[in-house]
Chains A and B, each alone.
Chain A
Amino acid sequence: MTQILQFLMLPLVHLIVALIAILTFIALNGLILVYVERKVAGFIQRRPGPFEVGPHGLLQPLADALKLVGKQLVMPRGADRILFWVAPLLSFAPVAICLLPIPFGPYLLGLNVNLGLLLVLAFSGLNVLALCLAGWGSNNKYALLGAARAVAQSVAYEIPLLLSVLCVAFTCGSLSFVDITASQTRGLLSWNVFSQPLAFLIFFVSALAETNRAPFDLPEAESELTAGFHTEYSGMGFGLFFLAEYSYMIVVSAVASVLFLGGWSGPFFSGHWWMLGKIYALILIMMWFRWTYPRVRFDQLLNICWKWLIPLSLINLLGTALIINLVR
């Protein structure tokens, strides 16, 4: 009897533990990334960045978080009460599920599903809905414009993202992250980034757009739309959007490093260190972009997608399929 119960409970316990671990990881990373982002911005701009709270400002993100938590929750007059508060939760909640199937080491993963890639793509799509609801529910014209932009942008960039991911799925013949990583463990040259460089570039650009990072941060373009979809949010409402943005950065970087950079494979150190290193390297590049480039205009953004990325990724996909067929 107990054995049967154990057998039943084990996957559930595993899942719960994994979820808790992932949530902790996300929260911790939110704090670290806020600090890193501000330090990177500071160094690029020849200034120290946060410095006063704690040694070298290390406790600054904690102070910021405390401030956000402590603030009164304000809702504008005429806003939709339910949608307004559902939006930030909806933006943040799927992140945990997105990180579930990603292997941080040979055995360090939350859930080994053979459709992991699909799971991540499906749940990360929910973020658009959250931005849309936030913009619509705020009863604010800027927020509405930001939401409209967010929807158009995310829907457009989902296509090249999917197409470039498909290339990798074709070459590896699997949608499971574990299998994809396993196929890249034969040294540096077996990484997919070398066999699929174009797919990697397209994926990275689309990922920047999907996560609303500069130079594609149009939904919150503060010079035009003050703060875009989260104009009316303060306190923890804003905090959750903020946390979600950084978490999605981790998700896309994790997916990119698994798909293209060999995931946990690497010499000398254990797998999870390699994985973390790759994730952070990608995130640092994203930050570097943000503090270098101006913002792309809305129609240009869509032009890049429809006129360049989608045709290129289609050609890439067809080429990949052709080569695979020929090789077989």
Chain B
Amino acid sequence: MLDKPSFSLDGDYYSSRFSELGKGEGDTLVLNLGPQHPSTHGVLRVIVELDGEYVRRAEPVLGYIHRMHEKMGEVKTYVQYLPNMGRVDYLHALAWNWAYVGAVEKLMGLEVPSRAEYIRVITCELNRICSHLLWWGAYVLDLGGFTPILYAFDDREILMDILQIPTGSRLTYCYYRFGGVSADLTETFLTQTRNFIERFKTRIPMYHDLVTGNMILRGRCEDIGALPAEMARRYGATGPVLRGSGVAYDVRRVEPYSVYDQFEFDIPVGKNGDAMDRYDVRMAEMEQSVRIIEQALNQIPDGPFINPDVPDRIMPPKGEVYFAVEGARGKIGVYLVSDGTARPYRLKLRAPGFSNLHVFAELAQGTILADAVSILGSLDLVIPEIDR
């Protein structure tokens, strides 16, 4: 009766199109990874054409968690859009907070008190460590090591407890405000942060012992997914993915915003751009973040944590502005066009993960399926951020 079942086992539009497009020679297998798959971390879907275990072609399919954040910006007032920013990239929410708040401040010419700038630096860097820790655990989990993610979460829980003190939440922070932050840092926060830094300095060698030096892990990362600097640039990759390829591009250094020009920190870069380099860059970045936090804790001045002269109504003048910050995954940019009303005319969010993801299709070609998973993990993707 039924030639085909109502739901086709041959797949949907994307997979049929994928099969039609350049069906390779020989006996190949089209495999659909995701949107529900253990190694795609969320709802990324990747269609791969396999020749045995070798990946002939790979194509990411996006849009499974598209939430129209950009359009939402056009219908909400400036302040009402703040909670959205914690949800674009839930792992480094404060960087997104900062990008948006910074763009509006730049457009309005709002001044941020210097204590607020230091608070932002401290919390944002703590959040960056948080994000890198989760990536570290999840990446090793992708490679089959179960235990490291729980050690990472041990540290991450402490970080979240610390960040909960000023922000009140644990993941989707909505903490920065136009002209400052919404709450001051307390004495408990400062002592807990100092304690955490002391503890973290002993934890990092343990991480290296357990995972970085491990022969099996090195075998899974070294020379896997080597990304040449030229190719990384071509795709617009940023963050650790670009730095792993040896390009020392960090927004904090190249276009210093806030008070980042007052801290001493290195920008770790890789050499070959393989998964191991990206891994090393992120591990080194955590140590650099600790360095920044230590300096900021020593230098933090007294004063107001928010500019008292913020106007009653946030209505930036007509014009456009672009503001970029360095997130855990790369350059986070907010492009804002204002028509002088209480709502943005247009809001464009530049998500670093979007550019980083598209490197994957080219990198994965010709690798083994297990390597493709390793490459995907090493790009540190947060799917909600890519889809926005």
- A-to-B contact residues, CB < 8 Å: 41, 44-47, 77-78, 141-142, 145, 148-149, 214-215, 217, 221-224, 226, 290-300
Q: Can you list 16 A-B contacts (CB < 8 A)?
A: A45-B146, A46-B151, A46-B154, A142-B31, A223-B142, A224-B373, A292-B145, A292-B147, A293-B144, A294-B145, A294-B211, A294-B217, A295-B144, A297-B371, A298-B370, A300-B219
Are A297 and B370 touching (Cβ within 8 A)? yes
Closest partner residue, chain B, to A300 (CB atom): B219
The count of chain B contact residues (Cβ–Cβ below 8 Å) is: 33
Q: Say if the beta carbon of B69 comes within 8 Å of chain A.
A: no
5 extra A-B contacts, CB within 8 A, seeds A148-B53, A293-B144, A294-B216 = A223-B142, A293-B216, A294-B144, A294-B145, A297-B370
Q: Say if the beta carbon of B23 comes within 8 Å of chain A.
A: no
Are A47 and B150 touching (Cβ within 8 A)? yes
Are A291 and B146 touching (Cβ within 8 A)? yes
Are A45 and B144 touching (Cβ within 8 A)? no
* Least CB distance, B134 to chain A, in whole angstroms: 16
A46: chain B residues within 8 A (beta carbon): 150-151, 154
A145: chain B residues within 8 A (beta carbon): 31, 50, 53, 369
Are B147 and A224 touching (Cβ within 8 A)? no
Q: Say if the beta carbon of B66 comes within 8 Å of chain A.
A: no
* Least CB distance, A155 to chain B, in whole angstroms: 16
Q: Say if the beta carbon of B141 comes within 8 Å of chain A.
A: yes
Give the residues from 14 to 66 in chain B that come closer than 8 angstroms, CB to CB, to chain A.
Answer: 29, 31, 37-39, 50, 52-53
Are B150 and A45 touching (Cβ within 8 A)? yes
Give the residues from 204 to 223 in chain B that come closer than 8 angstroms, CB to CB, to chain A.
Answer: 210-211, 214, 216-217, 219-220
Name the residue in A141, A142, A215, A224 with the highest tally of chain B Cβ atoms < 10 Å from its Cβ: A224
B39: chain A residues within 8 A (beta carbon): 223-224
A191 CA / B9 CA spacing, docked (Å): 57
Are B146 and A41 touching (Cβ within 8 A)? yes
A295 CA / B139 CA spacing, docked (Å): 12
A293 CA / B141 CA spacing, docked (Å): 10
Are A223 and B143 touching (Cβ within 8 A)? yes
B154: chain A residues within 8 A (beta carbon): 46
Q: Say if the beta carbon of B293 comes within 8 Å of chain A.
A: no
A145 CA / B31 CA spacing, docked (Å): 10
Closest partner residue, chain A, to B138 (CB atom): A223
A31 CA / B382 CA spacing, docked (Å): 39
Are A294 and B150 touching (Cβ within 8 A)? no
- List 9 A-B pairs, minimum CB-CB distance, nearest first: A295-B144, A294-B145, A45-B150, A294-B143, A223-B39, A294-B144, A223-B142, A297-B370, A224-B373
A52 CA / B5 CA spacing, docked (Å): 44
Closest partner residue, chain B, to A78 (CB atom): B9
A221 CA / B370 CA spacing, docked (Å): 9
* Least CB distance, A326 to chain B, in whole angstroms: 36
A141 CA / B53 CA spacing, docked (Å): 11
* Least CB distance, B223 to chain A, in whole angstroms: 12
A224 CA / B37 CA spacing, docked (Å): 8
Closest partner residue, chain A, to B224 (CB atom): A297
A41 CA / B149 CA spacing, docked (Å): 13
A214 CA / B216 CA spacing, docked (Å): 11
* Least CB distance, A36 to chain B, in whole angstroms: 16
Are B220 and A294 touching (Cβ within 8 A)? yes
* Least CB distance, A317 to chain B, in whole angstroms: 26
Are A141 and B216 touching (Cβ within 8 A)? no
If the complex has contacts A45-B147, A46-B150, A217-B144, are A295 and B368 also in contact, measured as CB distance less than 8 A?
Answer: no
Are A141 and B146 touching (Cβ within 8 A)? no
Closest partner residue, chain A, to B31 (CB atom): A141
Are A297 and B219 touching (Cβ within 8 A)? yes
A128 CA / B144 CA spacing, docked (Å): 22
A149: chain B residues within 8 A (beta carbon): 53
* Least CB distance, B145 to chain A, in whole angstroms: 4
Are A44 and B147 touching (Cβ within 8 A)? yes
